[in-house]
Amino acid sequence: METDLKRESGNKRKMERKGKRKYVKSKTKACVESISSDAQQQQHQMDTDSEYAAEKNNHSQVDVDSGIETMEVDDSDRIEHKRKRDASIGSEATETQVLNSIIRIFLVSWREQRDPGTLHIPCLAEAFNEKEKDYKEIINQIVMETLHLIYSSPENLIDSLKTAVDGVSPVRSYSSSPCSISPLMSPEHEERKFTSKIQPQKRKEVELINYLLDCYERVAFEERTSPKKSSIPPLNNVLSIARLSCVHHTALVLQGTLFENRSETASLFLLPYLLSHNLPRGFLSLLVSTLPDRESLNKIFVPIIHRLSQLISCQSLDTDDYKEPLSVLSELCEIKWDNCRPICSLMVSQSNWLPKVMRKTTGLEMEKLTLLGPFLSLSVFVGDNVKVVEKYFSNHLLTPDNARLIFQTLQHGLEYARTEQYKIIHAVLVNSESRDAAIGLLEKFIDGNSKKSQIQVDERYVAGDGFMLNLLTVLQMLAIKISLDKVDLYYPYHPNCRVDISSESCMKCTSQESEEWRTELAKTKNWQDPKFSTECFFLTLHCHHISILPLSRKYQRHLVIIRNLNRAIEELESSEAQWKDSPVASRNKESLEKWKAQVKKLQKSKLCANAGLLDESLLRRCLQFYGVVADYLLKMADPENEGNNLPLPQVTDKAFAALPEFYLEDIADFLLFVLHYKSEVLGSDPSVNQLVRMLIVFVCSPSYFNNPYLVAKLVEVLFVISPNFQPRTAKLSEMLLSHPLALNYMVPALMQFYTDIETTGASSEFYDKFTIRYHISIIFKTMWMIPSHQKKIIEEAQKGKQFVKFVNMLMNDTTFLLDESLDCLKRIHEMQEFQDNEAEWDALSREEQNSRQRQLSMDERQCKSYLTLATETVEMFHYLTEQIIGPFLMPELADRLAAMLNFNLQQLCGSKCKNLKVKNPDKYGWEPKKLLDRLTDIYLHLDSSDEFAAAIANDERSYRKILFDDAISRIQRARIKTDRDIEQFRKLQEKVEAIVVQKQRAEIDFGEIPDEFKDPLMDTLMNDPVLLPSGTIMDRPIILRHLLNSQTDPFNRQVLTEEQLVPATHLKEKIQTWMAHKLNSKKSDP
């Protein structure tokens, strides 16, 4: 009875095993066939090629001497013969060795007496004992049987095997014994390590994956252990089949189709291995390449890619956790198969590659909802993520050295992230199936954030600053090797252009003119489909416009806010004694606390911005790209010479005129930002030469632009480069001013612009011109120190008209600025004296005191600004009159120049000069002794003829003999002049006084002057009357003086030039006859 039960039980177990094998075979038949086919095809081709090549030299050579070919044998016979020969010398693995390799790889055995580190699978005995062994069938049967055992076992069988072989000392050898090497514990086979954040789940599927990966690695170990045997059949075929089998079955596990209990998220079991980078070499590529169809690829990798996107969206630069998702996606995108990158093609097919978004919030949604958006969102800016500032900048005692180290850490992290981002997008672009989708995504990223270029932008509707800088860097890396020769220069006007310039202000034409020209161009030009190099170049150009430039403006605005808050805090704290006992004390204290908290917050934001924006690598890439843009603009402006010669063609090419002016303005803004905050970037970069040439050409060609402020911004760049503004740019200034084009054309161009900027059309033109002219004066100051440029300035002065206009504007500005400066000083003096009188000051109400204090602060700021501008204009007069005299003494200038000098000398030395005395004069840049020294120097420089003395004498408003006496007295007390200079100044006074006396006598002689002899504007006797086109007659010096300021008829405002003036010869003769008659009459009177 007992025997029957045992027999029945045994039969039952045997039937179960047969049922399992039947299920396994039916479930994996397609997979097995695929593996067999792949392995056979790949290995057979490799074997045949290598063996045939090796044998061909021995058996198929031509006998050159006899002309008779040696006999060739059949390929199969030759291969069989080779195998036998190799086996005889021990190169080819024996059948036993092959079987033992299989046992070591898969840790299985069918024998009762087996190695403790293997699984016992008795059903394999039949397959192993067959005379003609089908290794493909054997390997796949082994894998499926083993996987089924692991899956159905309540315990972890592989861990049990590892425990069983603990203590085994592996021997690196190749033997016929399957136990000669312990494959689990071999020195080549280390336990996988995972990141602490994401660990593999405790699931049976994970055990299966671990087993298959171990088997895959053991295949490689077998190859390394016996390189000769594993490189030829039959062992190399078997190893290839084993490797493919591991990959195919892993794919089945990840698809959740290997067993009946399917898992929809099975592919995510692979994620911990990917993030920890512990998959065997080549496994991932083989996995992708062996998937039979797109559906299988999607099943495995779509969940992984979306999970990576979710992971990266939660990461920040405060830790290194962001690196794994980025590097994994980058690695996946790099996988190639059959001239395709399958993962890239898969990514662009996803619905969230380029989702439909709301128009108003396009920019923000493109960052948050697209597949790649989270990967590009890593940022150090406070507005994007507060984790960085909380970790790195919460310490109030941060030293400069510590801050520098933090900046370097964050910038290195950003550079790593941006390199990986570039790899991802570059892979999608080089893959032909996904290229158009990738370019379309980049286009939408830029178009959706176009509002970021506006002065006022709602940050809720656009992507973050970090996202935009990351996108910019990726585009820069893509464009860095693009040659301008490969770019279609007319692309902005292309019908299929991906950047919209229709609403942008043009360089030199109106919107209507631009539209008409583009319509005409579309009819005549034969457009070609734009290439990637062209699209990439212009997408990168427009990306700069909405990323680095808006961010630099925001950075500077924050600095102004910090400065203003600190000033407000300082002013309120300094006046605490006045309000601490008043009703507003609590409100003021509350304001102080609020402002200080704002400053602290803004300072932390500034530190983050320093790390993200003042990144030398980022700024250098911008500089290099803008160097290419500079060449592009010069090519468009001057297609023939490409800006190598000046002047540019008189007629502006429409292709240049219709370009957006921000193409040039952005370069100027970027250079200004870099010069102010990171000038070392401009060191020895080759692109600086391109930018310098562009600056010179366009500063010397203001007629190529509608907007004078665009040229003014280029002039500002030259000003900031000047060593008189910041000495650290001396080398750059030298390179710019020594350029041949600058030597020949810069001086006249700047003089012309100095006068042209008088009118700009803007409501603020009156005050704008002073700042622009101040910039030019600093540039001239630098140029005057260079002999070649000084010579050019003197040459321009000798030419006449242009220099006279320039000097006229210089006088106008000096007069206004000195007047305003001295008036401000007087108001400051009065207020300071009033405050010193405590009785009067305390008698005022609190509101009145605060009001006067605010007015004083405003006067102080204005005074400093006006004095800065005035000092430079006087300084320019000073050095110009040292070498140039004639133009200053021309009739239309001499009288006004003398009057200006006399008036300001009166302010400094007259009876009311005490009103200019203020506390802390250095605070405003007020140096009265230096100003007096410069003014008296100008008198001495021009004292070369009687003309200047006569001009001084003509000034009836300010000139008095006592004025020069006071001036001499103050000069002597201040010791600012040599005795020789004082003596020369005294002689000038004597000369002027003599002319005054003579002039007074002459005026008495003429008596009443007829109206027809008087100038209608100044009511003075005309000496050189001229007829205007309107019919009015004026004195030439007076009308010429007017034309220097305005090219119009003073009576009807019509355009008027000097060439239109006609000498009134008949009237002049009448005046001279009348004057002679009057003089003779006086002489004949007793």
CA distance 675 to 717: 8
- Write down the pTM of the prediction: 0.85
Mind listing the pLDDT tens digit for each residue in 914-959? 888 999 999 899 999 999 999 999 999 999 878 899 999 988 888 8
In 351-501, alpha helices (H): 362-369, 387-392, 400-430, 435-448, 465-479
Average pLDDT over residues 401-414: 94
Residue 394 burial class via C-beta count within 10 angstroms: exposed 0-12, middle 13-18, buried 19 and up: exposed
What pLDDT does 196 receive? 66
**C-alpha of 1017 from chain center:** 57
* pLDDT above 70 (res 3): no
CA distance 225 to 172: 7
Mind listing the pLDDT tens digit for each residue in 551-573? 999 999 999 999 999 999 998 88
pLDDT band at 1006 (very low <50, low <70, confident <90, very high): low
Domains belonging to the chain, first-starting first, are 16-47+91-244 (no CATH), 314-488+531-551 (no CATH), 1011-1084 (3.30.40.10)
CA distance 600 to 605: 9
**Paired tokens of 1068:** 């002049």
Mind listing the pLDDT tens digit for each residue in 480-526? 989 999 999 999 999 999 999 989 999 999 999 999 999 999 888 89
**Paired tokens of 230:** 């594993």
What pLDDT does 397 receive? 75
What pLDDT does 841 receive? 85
* pLDDT above 90 (res 594): yes
The sign of the CA dihedral 572, 578, 584, 587 is positive
Please state, rounded to an integer, the average pLDDT across all residues of the chain. 85
864 half-sphere exposure, CB direction, 13 A CA radius: 10
Mind listing the pLDDT tens digit for each residue in 759-790? 888 888 888 999 999 999 999 999 999 999 99
CA distance 187 to 28: 33
> Position of tokens 């039960």?
5
What pLDDT does 666 receive? 98
Extended strands (E) in 11-165: 108-109, 119-120
Mind listing the pLDDT tens digit for each residue in 151-203? 888 888 887 776 655 544 343 334 444 444 444 444 445 678 887 678 888 88
What pLDDT does 109 receive? 84
* pLDDT above 80 (res 592): yes
CA distance 534 to 489: 8
pLDDT band at 628 (very low <50, low <70, confident <90, very high): very high
**C-alpha of 453 from chain center:** 14
pLDDT band at 80 (very low <50, low <70, confident <90, very high): very low
Residues near 1040 by beta carbon (within 8 Å), at least 6 away in sequence: 891, 892, 1058
Extended strands (E) in 463-589: none
CA distance 406 to 610: 10
* pLDDT above 50 (res 1055): yes
- Quote the percentage of the chain above a pLDDT of 90: 58
Best mean pLDDT range from 694-708, 824-838, 891-905:
694-708
* pLDDT above 60 (res 799): yes
What pLDDT does 360 receive? 67
Using CA atoms, how far residue 263 sits from 205, 209, 257, 418, 1032, in Å, is: 9, 14, 8, 36, 101
Average pLDDT over residues 1003-1032: 84
Average pLDDT over residues 460-489: 95
Residues near 776 by beta carbon (within 8 Å), at least 6 away in sequence: 715, 719, 750, 753, 754
CA distance 655 to 506: 10
Average pLDDT over residues 1034-1051: 86
Cβ pair 97, 229 in contact under 8 A: yes
Average pLDDT over residues 1029-1048: 87
